[in-house]
Amino acid sequence: MRWTKAFIPTLKETPADAEITSHKLLLRAGLVRKLAGGLYTFLPLGLRVLRKVEQIVREEMDRTGALEVLMPALQPPEIWRQSGRYETAADVLFKVRDRAKKEWIMSPTAEEVITTVAAAEINSYRQMPVNFYQVCVKFRDELRPRFGLMRAKEFIMKDAYSFDVSDEAAMVSYHKMYDAYKRIFDRCGLQNFPVEADTGVIGGNYSHEFMVPAETGENEVVYCEACGYAANIEKATSGIPKTAPREAGAAAEKFPTPGVVTIDALSKAPYSVPANRQIKTLVFIADSKPLLVLIRGDDQLNETKLVARTGAVQVRPADVKNEADLAHFKSLGAMPGSLGAVANVPSDWTVLADDRLHGANDMTTGANEDGFHLRNVSIERDIKVTKWCDLRTVSAGEPCAKCAKALKIRRAIEVGHVFKLGTKYSEKLNATFLAEDGSRKASFMGCYGIGVTRTLQAIIEQCNDKDGIIWPTLVAPYTVCITPLMVGADTAVMKLAEQIYAELSAKGVDVIIDDRDDRPGVKFKDADLVGFPIRVGIGEKSLANGEVELKRRGGQLVLVKAEDAVAKVLELIASASN
Ligand code: ATP
Ligand code: MG
């Protein structure tokens, strides 16, 4: 390719609305352009990278025996109603109507569609295991599209769906995908690691996310360097001890605490109740039903865990400004700050308590009377807990549950997600088969997603320096950039440049020649900004000694004999780590 024909609109200035490095570089290197928030056009160079990432994904999927298909982007709402996700996933669904006013859903994912296919086509155990995948545009009505391709309204996802005859067989399919994901992200040149994950609205019972460490990532990952434990903070647990039991005190006792409505205020004189002897009582509304949540005063509630434990579609904190919610506070008898679960809790309310409070006594909590608290509270004795569960957020430094070493926390970008689904979708959409023993069973499913466009941007977020992108070799838009510093048609410089270009092209190398009649500084800056892995610089001075410049992006410049240039470039490509 010739630069003058390639359409590479690089930008000197950083676009004002790009917040993170990779988003800025996507725009500055001329890879994409924004149409509207969360919607981007891939320009020729960006599309080349996208195709290369897709190629890696396809090769690794094919290698596992998964079969590529292509499902419609418009999906009938009926199958979403059947699976139950018409309601549970409602907030991200883009819906359109046709001329007959019939509603359609623009695919955010395709469990319902593929399960419909399986219901009709997979009738015998002999047809499994089978895994179908596709690489196509998905649509999600994100609350906050941002950071360029990272969280877009429309993005490219590889989604795969496995069907198996049993739970054990499904586990084998799951691990095949897990291993393939590792290879995909490694080949993309990404530092990446799998973590245990929450299963969210998709449902299911076992899941891992593939994470790319990055300060700008939207996820927090809890990990242990000693034993390798790693989990999304939405799922992570630690070996932190339960609340130390004390001498069981007398009955709970009410005492006045005028104006005290925070854990912090109660921990100060004259009350001096340490936060770890306080119970925080929170009111939530889960699918329009009130719910009490109890966690220790020094702990933070994890709302994702709360949603998972309730199994509700919508969970939100109760709000005193909302009239219906206010009635709930009134039935307890107090406003936030004086709430508790010892007295006045209506019998039909659910009370969820965090495991760390199990067996705790000598605790202090709100008295459900404004301006009063209760001390000497023994949870087991004084509170009717509906369900004990893990609700707290792990903090850095807590002991690992597996090996007791201190846990760490880092931010990361989720680039892929694998789920074991069980029979949730196959039962609802009647994807059953005739088993070997003659019985009819629902098939055991797994689903596996990779954000292809997010992965592309994650590569940039991880591989860059002050001058621009540093593409890993396998995904670079062009592997080699030849930069003649004088472009007149019959100069020796240009002749050699054309010769090397022709030879590398003939060897199948993706090569671009910067044939612009521009200053060397401009050309070098652009080559670094776009981030081609290898640059061949050809100038009059070095050529007078029969030499050309060879430079790996981010590496040292070396002079090589002009006649060795092609061989050296091929060596560099062969020795690239990905
Ligand atoms: P997130 O938690 O980031 O919203 P998700 O868990 O909803 O993502 P999945 O349903 O697991 O996403 O989708 C599979 C993959 O698709 C994700 O791992 C991610 O890489 C990508 N992805 C999801 N939503 C978006 C989006 N809005 N823009 C770009 N990529 C996305
Ligand atoms: Mg996910």
243 DSSP 8-state letter: P
Alpha carbon separation from 245 to 345, 351, 382, 388, 394 (Å, rounded): 25, 21, 15, 17, 21
Q: Name the nearest CA neighbour of 553 among 468, 483, 459, 462.
A: 468
Quote the ligand 2 centre to 451 CA distance (angstroms). 9
CA distance 140 to 153: 5
pLDDT of residue 314: 84
Residues 207 and 199: beta-carbon distance below 8 Å: yes
Name which residue sits closest to atom 19 of ligand 1, judged by CA: 451
Query: Using a 6 Å cutoff on CB, does residue 417 contact ligand 1?
Result: yes
CATH number listed for the domain at residues 253-389:
3.90.960.10
Residues 446 and 420: beta-carbon distance below 8 Å: yes
**Burial label, 162 (beta-carbon count in 10 A; 0-12, 13-18, 19+):** buried
Q: What is the pLDDT along the chain (578 residues), one digit of tens a residue?
A: 999 999 999 999 988 889 999 999 999 999 999 999 999 999 999 999 999 999 999 999 999 999 999 999 999 999 999 999 999 899 999 999 999 999 999 999 999 999 999 999 999 999 999 999 999 999 999 999 999 999 999 999 999 999 999 999 999 999 999 999 999 999 999 999 999 998 765 555 689 999 999 999 999 999 999 999 999 999 999 999 998 888 777 899 999 999 999 999 999 999 999 999 999 999 999 988 999 999 999 999 999 999 988 888 789 999 999 999 999 999 999 999 999 999 999 999 999 999 999 999 999 999 999 999 999 999 999 999 999 999 999 999 999 999 999 999 999 999 999 999 999 999 999 999 999 999 999 999 999 999 999 999 999 999 999 999 999 999 999 999 999 997 876 788 999 999 999 999 999 999 999 999 999 999 999 999 999 999 999 999 999 999 999 999 989 999 999 999 999 999 999 988 66
Name which residue sits closest to atom 16 of ligand 1, judged by CA: 451
Q: Which residues pair with 132 in a beta bridge?
A: 67, 161
Cis peptide before 72 (omega within 30 of 0): no
Mean residue pLDDT across the chain: 95
CA distance 344 to 66: 57
Name which residue sits closest to atom 18 of ligand 1, judged by CA: 416
Ligand 1 pocket test, candidate residues 216, 454, 455, 461, most atoms within 8 A of CB: 454
Quote the ligand 2 centre to 457 CA distance (angstroms). 17
Q: Please check whether the domain covering 478-577 is classified as CATH 3.40.50.800.
A: yes
Ligand 1 pocket test, candidate residues 107, 157, 195, 216, most atoms within 8 A of CB: 157
Q: Give all strands of the β-sheet with 387-389 in edge-to-edge order.
A: 315-317, 279-286, 289-296, 350-354, 387-389
Indicate the pTM of the whole model: 0.93
Cα 492–chain centre separation: 51
Computed from CA positions of residues 45, 50, 52, 55, in that sequence, does the dihedral angle turn out positive or negative? negative
Q: Give all strands of the β-sheet with 103-106 in edge-to-edge order.
A: 74-75, 103-106, 94-97
Q: Regarding beta strands 480-484 and 534-538, do their DSSP bridges make them parallel or antiparallel, or are they unpaired?
A: parallel
Q: Please check whether the domain covering 47-220+409-461 is classified as CATH 3.40.50.150.
A: no
Quote the ligand 2 centre to 453 CA distance (angstroms). 14
Question: Which tokens in the block code for residue 424?
Answer: 């949730």
3-state secondary structure of 136: strand
The domain locations on the chain are 47-220+409-461, 253-389, 478-577
Amino acid at 247: E
Quote the ligand 2 centre to 494 CA distance (angstroms). 50
Give phi and psi for 396, each to the nearest 5. -60, 145
pLDDT of residue 206: 87
3-state secondary structure of 396: coil
Q: Which residues pair with 151 in a beta bridge?
A: 146
Question: Which tokens in the block code for residue 367?
Answer: 């008295």
Please report where in the chains the tokens 């676009």 appear, as a residue: 15
**Burial label, 508 (beta-carbon count in 10 A; 0-12, 13-18, 19+):** exposed
Residue-wise pLDDT for 302-354, tens only, equals 999 999 888 887 899 999 999 999 999 999 999 999 999 999 999 999 999 99
pLDDT of residue 201: 55
DSSP string, 455-485: HHHHHHHHSEETTEE---GGG-S-SEEEEES
Quote the ligand 2 centre to 208 CA distance (angstroms). 9
Q: Which residues pair with 40 in a beta bridge?
A: 34
Buried b (16+ CB within 10 A) or exposed e, 104-132: bbbbbbbbbbbbbbbbeebeebeebbbbb
Q: Name the nearest CA neighbour of 286 among 254, 257, 311.
A: 311
3-state secondary structure of 435: coil
Residue 150 alpha carbon, nearest atom of ligand 1 = 29
Ligand nearest to the CA of 145: 1
Q: Name the nearest CA neighbour of 62 among 131, 111, 156, 6.
A: 131
Contacts of residue 118, Cβ cutoff 8 Å, sequence gap at least 6:
163, 426, 431, 443
Buried b (16+ CB within 10 A) or exposed e, 78-100: ebbebbebbebbeeebbeeeeee
What is the 3-class SS of 566-578, one letter each residue? HHHHHHHHHHCCC
